[in-house]
């Protein structure tokens, strides 16, 4: 099927693209198991080539992070945003914060992945704006593992299907702080294997006696207080946070992500993730962050983002559960 598309495409290309452009695109198609009809092939080739040019131009500059082709490279940012980010602003109301910082000291760096079996494997949300559920489960999985010594993958699908009464919207967004509230009042979250992820919103089928994780209290970190985040991650556990994804982040590869295009306020955040640690690279402090776009994106599914500047609003809306 792919070979047939290749042969036809070489003859009928309607764009002023080089053979090398098509070669790169076809190689990428094979790598990512992509098949298109003829019309779609030309459209995706054009988008892919524009994305590749943008990536190459960025990588020629002096930046703290590099970009690369990935599974999203045949998409415009508009398409990507529609499928993988929140479609509407989330009202991050839990901004006063009830977290009380420790007296320190904080470690200079920490990585909960290396401290024990405390962080589950990177998962993949698919074409559903359910990142908030993965941030939530990732945080609760880690907090529970630190408390009990048992690391159990938890059910994002339960949150997608069941947490609407707490101002969450399935595949159209939500917030970890509100998801933790749901788990607390619902008295539990099931295991992933008992309530498998489907990447679409369905009927709530929660079974109380199969609950595997619980929340006693929700800790909301004071809005824009990034040092409280450092204190929480450095002395307690990973922390959920939200931030604004802009077009260059779609093609992030490695290094410390920074941006001059993103906003730093609660009303612009569109993606939720999990801070599993922090460190410093060439004098730039960063967060170590677990994403939910599969292990093929970024650094095995992770990224670094600059710490200490509320980069892209990352300190606007952070939280974690107490178990």
Write out the catalytic residue numbers: 131, 271, 291
CB 313 within 8 A of CB 263: yes
Structure tokens at 27: 């190689």
For residues 93 and 97, give the distance between their C-alpha atoms in angstroms, rounded to a whole number. 10
- Tell whether the torsion through CA atoms of 282, 287, 291 and 294 is positive or negative: positive
CB 6 within 8 A of CB 26: yes
Per-residue exposure over 233-264, b if at least 16 CB sit within 10 Å of its own CB, e if not:
bbeebbbbbbbbbbbbbbbbbebbbbbeebbb
CB 265 within 8 A of CB 315: no
DSSP 8-state secondary structure symbol assigned to residue 51: H
* Cα pseudo-dihedral 15, 21, 27, 29, rounded to 10: -30
Structure tokens at 303: 């990224």
């Amino acid at each position: 099927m792919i070979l047939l598309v290749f042969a036809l495409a070489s003859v009928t290309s309607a764009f002023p693209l080089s053979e090398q452009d098509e070669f790169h695109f076809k190689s990428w198609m094979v790598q990512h198991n992509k098949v298109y009809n003829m019309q779609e092939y030309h459209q995706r080739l054009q988008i892919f080539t524009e994305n590749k040019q943008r990536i190459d131009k960025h990588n020629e500059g002096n930046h703290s992070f590099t970009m690369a082709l990935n599974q999203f490279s045949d998409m415009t940012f508009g398409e990507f945003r529609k499928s993988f980010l929140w479609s509407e602003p989330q009202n991050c109301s839990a901004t006063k914060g009830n977290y009380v910082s420790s007296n320190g000291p904080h470690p200079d760096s920490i990585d909960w992945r290396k401290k024990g079996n405390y962080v589950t494997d990177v998962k993949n949300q698919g074409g559903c704006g359910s990142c908030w559920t993965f941030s939530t489960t990732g945080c609760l999985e880690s907090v529970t593992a630190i408390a009990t010594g048992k690391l159990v993958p938890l059910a994002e699908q339960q949150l997608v299907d069941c947490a609407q009464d707490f101002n969450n919207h399935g595949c159209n967004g939500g917030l970890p702080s509100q998801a933790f509230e749901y788990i607390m009042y619902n008295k539990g979250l099931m295991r992933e294997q008992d309530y498998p992820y489907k990447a679409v919103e369905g009927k709530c089928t929660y079974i109380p006696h199969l609950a595997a994780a619980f929340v006693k209290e929700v800790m909301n970190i004071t809005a824009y207080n990034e040092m409280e985040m450092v204190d929480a991650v450095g002395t307690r556990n990973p922390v959920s946070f939200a931030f604004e994804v802009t077009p260059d982040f779609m093609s992030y590869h490695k290094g410390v992500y920074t941006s001059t295009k993103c906003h730093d306020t609660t009303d612009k955040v569109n993606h939720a993730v999990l801070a599993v640690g922090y460190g410093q690279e060439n004098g730039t402090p960063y967060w170590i962050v677990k994403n939910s776009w599969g292990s093929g994106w970024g650094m095995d599914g992770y990224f670094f983002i600059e710490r200490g500047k509320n980069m892209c609003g990352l300190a606007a809306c952070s939280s974690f559960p107490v178990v």
